[in-house]
C-alpha cells in the first residue's frame, strides 16, 4: 500500500517575519534578517551580528506562566506549529488525528536556559535550579507539546532545523 505525506499547513517566526506571510514578504523584498546582537551583551564576543527574531515579546503569544516554562527556542517552535495548524484548516471534525504527525527539527534546544541554570547551579547550588530545567532544554519538547495540545497520534519525527505538521493519508 502506498502512503503519501501531505504538508497541510505552514508556520514561521523568523528574523524577517513573525509569521509565514511576513517571512514570505521579507524574502520577496530581499530583507536581511542579520543585524547587531541585541538579545544579550555581545561586547566580549568576536561576532557582533546574528539573525535574531526582532522585537519578540513572549507575552504576545503565551500567558506568563507558559512563557516561563518554555525556552525561547521552544516558544518559536510552538508559535510556528500554532500557525501551521491554523493555516491547514484541520480540526477535530475534518481530521483523523490518529494519522496526524509532527516533524520537528532542531540541532539543540534551550541554550539560553542551559546557560542561566548552569550559572544558578554554580553560584547558588543545585537546589536552586529550576524544576523545569530539563523540559525547557529538550529540543523535541515543542513536538510533544503540540501533539498533546492537538491530540495528534501519528508519528513524531525529530530532525534538524525545520518544523512542519503532516497528515498521512492512504490514496
**Closest of 120, 151, 147, 152 to residue 133, by C-alpha:** 120
139 close to 110: Cβ distance less than 8 angstroms: yes
Residues 3-170: name the CATH superfamily: Thiolase/Chalcone synthase (3.40.47.10)
Residue 52 or residue 167, greater confidence: 52
Residue 84 or residue 3, greater confidence: 84
Please list, in sequence order, all residues whose beta carbon lies within 8 angstroms of the beta carbon of residue 46, skipping any fewer than 6 positions away: none
φ, ψ at 55 (rounded to 5°): 50, 40
Per-residue pLDDT tens over the stretch 98-125: 777 766 666 667 777 888 888 888 899 8
15 close to 52: Cβ distance less than 8 angstroms: yes
DSSP 8-state secondary structure symbol assigned to residue 89: T
Amino acid at each position: 500500500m502506498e502512503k503519501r505525506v501531505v504538508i497541510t499547513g505552514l508556520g514561521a517566526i523568523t528574523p524577517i517575519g513573525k509569521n509565514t506571510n511576513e517571512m514570505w514578504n521579507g524574502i520577496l523584498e530581499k530583507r536581511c534578517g542579520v543585524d547587531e546582537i541585541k538579545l544579550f551583551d555581545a561586547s566580549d564576543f568576536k561576532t557582533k551580528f546574528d539573525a535574531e527574531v526582532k522585537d519578540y515579546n513572549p507575552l504576545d503569544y503565551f500567558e506568563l506562566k507558559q512563557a516561563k516554562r518554555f525556552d525561547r527556542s521552544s516558544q518559536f517552535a510552538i508559535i510556528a506549529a500554532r500557525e501551521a495548524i491554523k493555516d491547514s484548516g484541520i480540526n477535530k471534525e475534518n481530521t483523523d488525528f490518529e494519522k496526524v504527525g509532527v516533524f520537528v527539527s532542531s540541532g539543540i534546544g534551550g541554550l539560553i536556559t542551559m546557560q542561566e541554570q548552569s550559572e544558578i547551579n554554580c553560584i547558588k547550588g543545585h537546589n536552586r535550579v529550576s524544576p523545569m530545567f530539563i523540559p525547557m532544554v529538550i529540543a523535541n519538547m515543542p513536538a510533544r507539546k503540540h501533539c498533546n495540545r492537538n491530540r495528534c497520534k501519528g508519528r513524531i519525527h525529530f530532525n534538524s532545523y525545520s518544523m512542519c505538521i503532516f497528515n498521512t493519508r492512504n490514496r
